[in-house]
């Protein structure tokens, strides 16, 4: 046996997963409350005790960790045009596992600067202009950031027009500045990987120490990435395979949480027919979006606002007059688990509506546009109707008896022909909640991580 421990320091719970990489099998999982306000090692120790009550004593050859504790990696980004460089900045930040707490287009104002000071981001991503294009906006924004109080409050990653990068760095004298390739070097071409790698390095160098996680360095081999980035890497491995071992192919995935709902796609998402024209920047093959207003407990009110009480009543079979009061109670008592049949019906409705809303926001749309030469179909964003697999994770799905029915609300439907969610394919349930752990393991042991996922993340109904 060669046991490896994978740790996820979450905002609420610290989750541990033990695997045997020699035999490519899961040994066990456990979770305990994250004690970030005192000593984060206390929660880890408790989770390990719980794990070894099931597995027996284990000696680990390696320990790897990811983290979203204390709010995760908070980023603010700015760009020039909302649909181009600002959108490229957003995709860069989300794909790196960050939580985008602010996104600005065009020139920053004094009011914007006050908002950014109040947001206290961990990193600022400064973009704007294709290479050789507009320089005025990114230079103005660098100057505005340089005027902030206190100076040097956070690192600034410059990933815009390379003709202006040097001048931006001079305007930010006294700040920690990192320059990398433009996220949108030319119209229609994304180049987000260099910036994402720099974000990961900043996470390791700065955020780990700021969160107090460095105290655990003696206990673990390394904290490698933010938790959403680990999930994304796990899904990429599950999709693409490792060496001669094939993956599932193109897939979409939903992580339904209490406060947020993350959606991932590992797929080209290009138009499926020749009569459809793609509009806007091409999106990354591996994409993540996060809906901060959609969740099962803290953000249940966001589901109500997005879907409406009549829709939730129809999904649950409950009286619409009771819906608002029940959701208000859940929001104030996020630890509350379903106790009655009515509770289970409401949880089902919330999960179905959350998944439906989040997938609609993640995918693209098709609309018919009339031009002087006749009608044209225009696609914005990804078309996921052809993906072969849909992966679901998150406690509200993993423990729900109607997970298959819930998955149906992520599907493409002719009732909403403009929304391009998955049309068919298999549904997989991450019942052991191991996607983040397998993303970590895949850094050094991709074959073992893929083998374990194929054993543990099962087709629904099998």
Confidence of residue 188 (pLDDT cuts 50, 70, 90): confident
Considering only residues 387 and 66, tell me which one the structure prediction assigns the higher pLDDT. Answer: 387
Tens of pLDDT, residues 52-101: 999 999 999 998 988 776 556 789 999 988 878 888 888 888 887 888 88
140-152 pLDDT per residue, tens = 999 999 988 888 8
- Regarding whether 342 and 399 lie in a shared domain, the answer is yes
Does residue 236 lie within any of the structural domains? no
Q: What is the pLDDT of residue 462?
A: 63
399 shares its domain with 417: yes
pLDDT for position 252: 96
Residue 408 within a domain: yes
For 357-424, strand residue ranges (E) read 365-371, 374-380, 389-393
Predicted TM-score (pTM) of the model is 0.85
How many domains would you assign to the chain? Answer: 3
Number of C-beta neighbours around residue 240 at 10 A: 18
The pLDDT score that the predictor gives to residue 225 is: 81
* CA within 13 Å, CB half, 413: 10
The answer to whether the beta carbons of residues 413 and 359 sit under 8 Å apart is no
By percentage, how much of the chain surpasses pLDDT 70?
Answer: 93
- Has residue 323 been placed in a domain? yes
Task: Let me know whether 288 and 409 are in one domain.
Answer: yes
pLDDT of amino acid 223? 66
The domain of 194 spans 73-203
If asked whether residues 64 and 110 sit together in one domain, one would say no
Residue with tokens 């001048």: 167
36 has pLDDT over 80: no
Instruction: Identify the burial level of 206 via C-beta atoms within 10 angstroms of its C-beta, where 0-12 means exposed, 13-18 middle and 19 or more buried.
Output: middle
Do the domain assignments include residue 446? no
| Helical spans, DSSP H, in 337-394 | 341-362
What was the pLDDT predicted at 206? 63
**Do 196 and 282 have their domain in common?**
no
Q: Are residues 258 and 387 in the same domain?
A: yes
Asked if 426 and 249 touch (Cβ cutoff 8 Å), the reply is no
Alpha carbon of residue 2 to chain centroid:
31
pLDDT digits (tens, 9 = 90+) for 388-405: 999 999 888 888 888 889
Question: What are the backbone dihedrals phi and psi of residue 400, each rounded to the nearest 5 degrees, phi first?
Answer: -95, 130
Q: Do residues 145 and 83 both lie within one domain?
A: yes
Residues 55 and 85 in one domain: no
What pLDDT, in 10s, does the model give residues 189-242?
888 899 988 888 887 676 565 555 555 555 566 667 888 889 999 999 999 999
Q: Are residues 434 and 344 in the same domain?
A: yes
Do 378 and 403 have their domain in common? yes
In the predicted model, what is the mean pLDDT of residues 259-274? 90
- Given a cut of 60, whether residue 417 has pLDDT beyond it is yes
The pair of structure tokens assigned to 277 is 């024209």
Q: DSSP labels for 149-168?
A: SSTT-S-EEE-S-HHHHHHH
- Please check whether residue 363 lies inside any domain of the structure: yes
CB 295 within 8 A of CB 327: no
Claim to verify: residue 137 and residue 60 sit in the same structural domain:
no
Cα-Cα end-to-end distance for the chain: 28
Q: Domain of 144: which CATH number?
A: 3.40.50.280
């Amino acid at each position: 046996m060669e046991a490896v421990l994978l740790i996820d320091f979450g905002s609420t719970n610290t989750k541990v997963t033990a695997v045997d990489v020699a035999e490519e099998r899961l040994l066990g999982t456990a979770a305990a409350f994250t004690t970030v306000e005192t000593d984060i090692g206390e929660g880890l120790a408790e989770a390990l005790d719980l794990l070894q009550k099931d597995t027996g004593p284990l000696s680990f050859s390696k320990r790897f960790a990811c983290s979203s504790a204390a709010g995760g990696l908070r980023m603010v980004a700015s760009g020039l045009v909302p649909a181009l460089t600002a959108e490229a900045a957003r995709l860069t930040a989300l794909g790196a596992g960050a939580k985008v707490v602010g996104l600005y287009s065009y020139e920053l104002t004094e009011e914007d600067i006050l908002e950014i000071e109040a947001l206290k981001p961990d990193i600022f991503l400064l973009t704007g202009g294709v290479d050789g294009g507009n320089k005025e906006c990114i230079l103005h924004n660098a100057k505005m950031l340089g005027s902030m109080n206190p100076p040097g409050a956070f690192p600034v990653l410059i990933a815009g027009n390379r003709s202006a990068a040097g001048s931006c760095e001079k305007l930010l004298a006294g700040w920690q500045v990192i320059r990398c390739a433009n996220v949108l070097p030319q119209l229609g071409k994304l180049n987000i990987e260099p910036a994402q790698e720099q974000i990961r390095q900043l996470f390791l160098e700065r955020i780990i120490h700021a969160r107090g996680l460095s105290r655990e360095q003696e206990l673990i081999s390394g904290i490698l990435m933010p938790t959403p980035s680990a999930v994304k890497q796990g899904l990429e491995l599950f999709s693409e395979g490792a060496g001669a071992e094939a993956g599932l192919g193109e897939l979409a995935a939903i992580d339904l949480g209490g406060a947020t709902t993350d959606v991932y796609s590992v797929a080209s998402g290009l138009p499926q027919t020749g009569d459809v024209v793609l509009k806007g920047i091409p999106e990354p093959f591996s994409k993540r979006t996060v809906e901060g207003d959609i969740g099962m407990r803290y953000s249940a009110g966001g589901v109500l606002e997005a879907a409406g009480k009549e829709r939730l009543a129809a999904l649950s079979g409950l009286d619409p007059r009771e819906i608002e009061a029940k959701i208000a109670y859940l929001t104030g008592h996020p630890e509350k688990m379903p106790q009655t049949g009515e509770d289970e019906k409401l949880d089902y409705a919330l999960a179905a509506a959350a998944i439906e809303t989040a997938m609609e926001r993640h995918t693209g749309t098709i609309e018919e546009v009339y031009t002087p030469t006749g009608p044209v179909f225009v696609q914005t964003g990804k078309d996921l109707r052809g993906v072969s697999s849909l992966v679901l994770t998150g406690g509200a799905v993993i423990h729900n008896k109607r997970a298959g029915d819930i998955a149906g609300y992520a599907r493409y439907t002719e009732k909403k022909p403009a929304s391009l969610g998955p049309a068919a394919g298999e549904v997989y349930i991450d019942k052991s909640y191991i996607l983040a752990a397998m993303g970590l393991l895949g850094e050094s042991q991709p074959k073992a991580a893929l083998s374990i996922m194929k054993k543990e993340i099962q087709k629904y109904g099998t």
